[in-house]
Amino acid sequence: MTTLTAKWRGGLVYAGVVVVVACCLAPFYWMLVSSLRRTGDIFDTTPLPSPLSFENYRAVFDPAQGFGRALLNSLVVAGITTVLALLLATFTAYAMARLEFRFKRLILTLIIATSMFPVVSIVVPLLKLFTDIGWINTYQSMIVPSMSFALPLAVWNLTTFFRQMPDELEHAAMVDGCTRGQAFRKVIVPLAAPGIFTTAIITFIAAWNEFLIALSMTNKPGMQTATVAISKFTGATTYETPFGSQMAAGVLVTVPLVVMVLLFQRRIVAGLTAGAAK
Amino acid sequence: MTELPAETGVRARPRRPAARGRATAGAGRLAALLVSPTLLVLAVVVLYPTLMALKESLYGAKGLDPSTGFISATEPFVGLRNYADIFGEAGARFFNAFWNTTFFTVVTVSLETVVGVAMALIMHRAFRGRALVRAGILVPWAVPTAISGLLWRWIFNSDGVANALLGQQILWTTEGFHAKVAVIVAEVWKTAPFIGLLVLAGLQVIPKEVYEAARMDGARPVRQFWHITLPLVKPALLVAVLFRCMDALRMFDLPYILVGAQKHSVETLSMLAQNEASNVRFGPASAYAVILFLYVFLIALAFVRLLGTDLVGGGDGRRPRRTEVTA
């Protein structure tokens, strides 16, 4: 192989990389660009907004849209779901990774299987139940069904993280006189902190992105989460879809996640791929 | 992570009772204590609703009972009538939703797999700027599906950028095959990078020596791909495909937002069940939910049986994880 063809090959690989990244980012970029146009030029197809305008962002935070409240609702629902799921999952994952007991594989398989469960199969009966007990338009009506996917996700991720930690650490602590509980609290949890943190991010993103549950369990605009609120944005007239403000709100909902992804991409990828590749 | 000095003198008793029977009673009690809260919560949020759906699917709606002419204040027991209706009266809508769900699953997962593997192969070759690339392709994964639905609705608007680029005037988000295409494009954009990441992780654990040996033996790149790369990333890929299938079978957000509710061309089983439930027709909605659940369950079972993928990995935590394919 001559150096020339090798160089060509290298060039092709990088051209391929550019294409891949461009395909991934282009739609997101388009959302950003469209959100920065004036309502009048929303149908422009220039790659840069000219003139730049924050009109759409002002429209999003118009009190009539109630978007601030929707963001708060999303934060509360996704936050509480994440905390509860992690709390339960940390103990369970520890047992799965470190203890020997009967039916372990069966239990872990069952827990993971629930994460593949169609959410709508849970939402339909719960919608009826929550209607009967007056839980519609409450936070708990969204948090409880969200546990059905958040908890298995957290258990699976954490189990993988705990398994990667050497047994010896814990044994050393126990030889030095710690009980198993102390070893868990003082040795395992601090060392697993990065894993717990990554799991928290992945769980939070999953809960934050949830749509079906929030859509079904709320009918009052004040209790809608951000994803539902944006899909119901109204324009100046009924027939006009407010694309500009939808894009601006979309950017606002996505940017925190994108920032998290940029900061912690290595960890998130490790967490996402942990189960599959080994 | 902190590196601890290797403990040389005192070594704890190697705790690895490989046989289940030898698990100590103490460990068993502790495990029960640690695991039961999770199982309890899952029983409440998954098992109980499922049983409720099963029961509910046997009941009709409140109101006028057509056979007796009485107004019932409670929901009448109708036996299997909801199911009979699905395959009879309401059959057209159900079979359409069933077909759409299956079609979307097969097409999107196949496309995602091909695109994802291609992405992974390209990224695997690039050495500089890998972190940046990884962050870039994680962006579609992080965008909420509901937002990506809106985003693609904007792109596929009749005066939108997709038509401008193609020089066409297609009404993408109206009924018709093009609506399916729009959903598929949006779905593949969001999830192919995820498969790409999983496959990339699989590629990175293949030792370089294998390829060198193949090159020595005169295997060309295409042959290397089919005979080395693909078999070795297959376990990782299969798990990814299984998860994607399960996810695609319950597709809701994207068609609901991108095209709309009750649209014949894109209505999936999840949308059908949700639509019935939101119209307070819990009986038929539960019947749809049960059927979707059974469908997902059967596909998952078929996957695990046919391909022998082991999702859970090494049961005792230390044995190398068994994800090989035995079929």
Chain A residues inside the 8 Å CB shell of B60 = none
DSSP state of A49: -
* Pair A72, A202 in one domain: yes
| Domain total in chain A | 2
Residue B144, helix vs strand vs coil: coil
- Establish whether the linkage from the previous residue to A51 is cis, with ω within 30° of 0: yes
> Of the segments B166-170, B229-233, B287-291, which one has the largest average pLDDT value?
B287-291
**Chain B window 60-99: which residues touch A at a Cβ cutoff of 8 Å?**
none
Q: How far is CA B79 from CA A98, A204, B55, B85, B287, in A?
A: 47, 41, 10, 11, 11
> Which residue in the set B7, B145, B256 is minimally distant from A209, CB to CB?
B145
State how far Cα A201 lies from the chain centre.
Answer: 7
Token readout for B207 is 């030792």
**Residue A135 structural domain:** 66-232
Chain B residues inside the 8 Å CB shell of A123 = 274, 277
CA–CA separation, B248 vs B101, rounded Å?
8
Q: Does B253 have pLDDT greater than 50?
A: yes
- Nearest C-alpha neighbor of A206 from the set B243, B258, B105: B243
Beta bridge partners of B64: B71
CA–CA separation, B228 vs A162, rounded Å?
31
User: B257 and chain A: CB distance < 8 Å anywhere?
Assistant: yes
Local confidence band at B312 (pLDDT 50, 70, 90 cut-offs): low
Task: Choose the mutation target among B139, B148, B293, B318 for the interface with A, i.e. most A CBs under 10 Å.
Answer: B139
* Pair A21, A144 in one domain: no
User: Pick the residue with more confidence: B267 or A164?
Assistant: B267
* Pair A17, A77 in one domain: no
DSSP state of B59: B
Token readout for B92 is 């057209």
User: Is residue A237 in a domain?
Assistant: no
DSSP state of B6: P
Q: Does B306 have pLDDT greater than 90?
A: no
User: What is the pLDDT, as a whole number, of residue B62?
Assistant: 66
User: Is residue A262 in a domain?
Assistant: no
User: Is residue A169 in a domain?
Assistant: yes
- Nearest C-alpha neighbor of B148 from the set B187, B105, B180: B187
Q: What are phi and psi of B250, to 5 degrees?
A: -105, 20
Token readout for B276 is 């019935």
Contacts of B3 (CB under 8 A, 6+ apart): none
Token readout for A238 is 């009924």
Give the domain CATH number at A224. Answer: 1.10.3720.10
> Which residue in the set A102, A126, A180 is minimally distant from B23, CB to CB?
A102
Burial call A190-218: b when 16+ CB within 10 Å, e when fewer: ebbeebbebbbbbbbbbbbbbbbbbbbbb
Residue B72, helix vs strand vs coil: strand
Q: How far is CA B233 from CA B92, B197, B305, in A?
A: 41, 12, 19
Answer whether A233's CB lies under 8 Å from A62's CB: no
* Pair A25, A137 in one domain: no
Local confidence band at B324 (pLDDT 50, 70, 90 cut-offs): very low
Token readout for B279 is 């119209």
Contact B133 A278 (CB under 8 A): no
CA–CA separation, B34 vs B28, rounded Å?
10
In whole numbers, what is the pLDDT of chain A averaged over residues? 84
CATH class (in words) of the domain with range B102-281: mainly alpha
Q: What is the pTM of this model?
A: 0.84
Contacts of B202 (CB under 8 A, 6+ apart): A276, A277, B120, B232, B233, B235, B236, B237
Tally Cβ neighbours within 10 Å of residue B326.
8
Amino acid identity at B241: V
User: What is the pLDDT, as a whole number, of residue B317?
Assistant: 37
Local confidence band at B315 (pLDDT 50, 70, 90 cut-offs): very low
Answer whether B126's CB lies under 8 Å from A14's CB: yes
* Pair A78, A210 in one domain: yes
Q: Does B141 have pLDDT greater than 80?
A: yes
Helix A140-164 to helix A119-132 angle (10° resolution) is 140
In whole numbers, what is the pLDDT of chain B averaged over residues? 79
Q: Does B2 have pLDDT greater than 70?
A: no
ipTM: 0.86
Contacts of A226 (CB under 8 A, 6+ apart): A67, A70, A71, A73, A74, A249, A253
Burial category of B145 from C-beta neighbours within 10 Å (exposed 0-12, middle 13-18, buried 19 and up): buried
User: B301 and chain A: CB distance < 8 Å anywhere?
Assistant: no
Residue B228, helix vs strand vs coil: helix
pLDDT digits (tens, 9 = 90+) for A72-102: 999 999 999 999 999 999 999 988 888 888 8
Contact A109 B312 (CB under 8 A): yes
Local confidence band at A277 (pLDDT 50, 70, 90 cut-offs): very low
Find, in chain B, the residue whose alpha carbon is nearest to that of A266.
B131
> Which residue in the set A95, A208, A246 is minimally distant from B34, CB to CB?
A95
Chain B residues inside the 8 Å CB shell of A257 = 142-144
CA–CA separation, B2 vs B19, rounded Å?
32
What mean pLDDT do residues B118-130 have?
Answer: 80
User: Is residue A260 in a domain?
Assistant: no
> Which residue in the set A109, A111, A208 is minimally distant from B144, CB to CB?
A208
User: What is the pLDDT, as a whole number, of residue B182?
Assistant: 92
CA distance A69 to chain B (A): 18
pLDDT digits (tens, 9 = 90+) for B210-249: 888 888 888 888 888 888 888 888 877 888 888 889 889 9
CA–CA separation, A217 vs A192, rounded Å?
35
CA–CA separation, A258 vs B144, rounded Å?
11
Kind plus residue range of the DSSP H or E element containing A161: helix A140-164
User: What is the pLDDT, as a whole number, of residue A117?
Assistant: 82
Contacts of B230 (CB under 8 A, 6+ apart): none
Chain B residues inside the 8 Å CB shell of A217 = none
Local confidence band at B316 (pLDDT 50, 70, 90 cut-offs): very low
- Nearest C-alpha neighbor of B269 from the set B243, B244, B294: B294
Token readout for B222 is 């295409």
* Pair A119, A80 in one domain: yes
Chain B residues inside the 8 Å CB shell of A209 = 144-146
* Pair A49, A146 in one domain: no
CA dihedral B222, B223, B229, B232 (to 10 degrees): 160
* Pair A30, A73 in one domain: no
> Which residue in the set B131, B139, B296 is minimally distant from A25, CB to CB?
B139
User: Is residue A266 in a domain?
Assistant: no
| Interface A-B: count of C-beta contacts within 8 A | 331
pLDDT digits (tens, 9 = 90+) for A260-269: 888 887 777 7
- As a residue count, chain B comes to 327
* Pair A44, A78 in one domain: no
Half-sphere exposure of B159 (CA within 13 A, CB side): 7
Amino acid identity at B162: A
Task: Choose the mutation target among A14, A18, A24 for the interface with B, i.e. most B CBs under 10 Å.
Answer: A24
> Which residue in the set A117, A160, A265 is minimally distant from B46, CB to CB?
A117
* Pair A130, A47 in one domain: no
CA–CA separation, B36 vs B137, rounded Å?
38
* Pair A151, A190 in one domain: yes
> Which residue in the set B122, B150, B316 is minimally distant from A246, CB to CB?
B150
Tally Cβ neighbours within 10 Å of residue B143.
24
Q: Does B77 have pLDDT greater than 80?
A: no
User: B11 and chain A: CB distance < 8 Å anywhere?
Assistant: yes
CA distance A33 to chain B (A): 12
* Pair A168, A130 in one domain: yes
CA distance A73 to chain B (A): 16
User: Is residue A270 in a domain?
Assistant: no
